[in-house]
Structures are given as structure tokens and as C-alpha cells.
Amino acid sequence: MSSKGFTLIELLVVVLIIGILTAIAFPKYEMAVEKSRSREAFTTLAALEMAVQSQFLANGRDYMAQRVYADVVFNQLEVSLPATETSSDEKQWCTRFFQYSIDCNKWWDMCKVSAHRIGGNGDRKCEFAAFHNVKYIIVSDVGFNRPPKRYCTNWSAGEHAFGEKFCADLLAEGLVRPE
């Protein structure tokens, strides 16, 4: 007697194998996709770092020392960025996956240029100051007459434990420094 099909056990074994392979491959795929998205942040941060340093050099140390609490706005910087959305006070700027901000403070004698990785797949509008949906933040400390220092920090706990692992991977690759 010849059989013309698969038994239920054979089908269950195949489904089990596919499930195991998916469970192993999906986190690696998610990490690879996130690393490619983070390249946008690194490229944009490099442009913003140069623009802020140009402001330091063109206007002197005292100019930035007079800036208090995010008084530098994007339209004052000599940089061309493909913004999808800018806040009304022009102190935050968004792309599909990141929200950028510049925070200068005379007490720090530097500016913090930040890229906040917004949760989701970029299919919604950017919510300004909505940090409850941030996966991780890449920060660049730009000071007068010194090279920028980049670091990554996990913003949210619990559901976004992904950010902690992602920041650890960036650190291991040498793309950021320890905080």
C-alpha cells in the first residue's frame, strides 16, 4: 500500500523546525535592520557636530557660553539636513526613525547633540518631546576645541531592553564610547 502524503507527525516536525529557526534568526535580523537604521543617526550626528563646531570657531567660546538651555536652533547652523518635520521652536528635528535635538549649556561648556531612536517602524508622525517611545539615544558631546565624544544610552527599561543590547553592540564595535 503506497501513501500519498505526509503524516501529521512529519508535518509537526517540519513546523517545529521552522519555528526554532525563526526564533534564532529573527533577533539577529532585527539587530541588523537596527544597525542599518542607526547609520542615519551617525551620519546626521557627524554633520551636526561639524556645524556646531563651526559655530564655536566662527563666534568664539563666549558665543556658546551665552547659550542657555537649547538656545541653538537648527536653522542657525550651516548644515543641510533632509528634515521631514521640525518643531515649532526649531530646536528639534525629525526623520522617519530619529528625533534630533541640540542642547547647549554654558555650565557644560559644550553642546549635546542627540539622536533619539523613536519606536515603531517610521510609519507615524514624530511626536516632539514624547520620550516614552524611545528605544535608545545616541549622544555626541561637542565642546570648544576638542573632538566630539559619542555614547549610546538605553532610555527605556522593560519592553525596550533591546536598546541596552544594541548600545552594548555599538560599544563593542567601537562606534561609541562608554558613558
| Domain ranges (residues) in the chain | 8-173
Give me the percent of the chain exceeding a pLDDT of 90: 9
**Does the structure show a pLDDT above 70 at 82?**
no
What's the one-letter identity of residue 145? N
- Mark out the alpha helices in the chain (DSSP H runs): 8-65, 161-173
Residue 66 vs residues 71, 72, 105, 122, 144: alpha-carbon distances, Å? 9, 10, 8, 36, 13
What are 79's three cell numbers? 548644515
Closest alpha carbon to 126 in 169, 88, 97:
97
More confident residue, 41 or 123: 41
Q: What is the pTM of this model?
A: 0.75
Task: For residue 45, list its beta bridge partners.
Answer: none
More confident residue, 5 or 61: 5
Q: How many CB atoms lie within 10 A of CB 156?
A: 18
CB-hemisphere CA count at 13 Å for 82?
6
d(CA 178, CA 34): 20
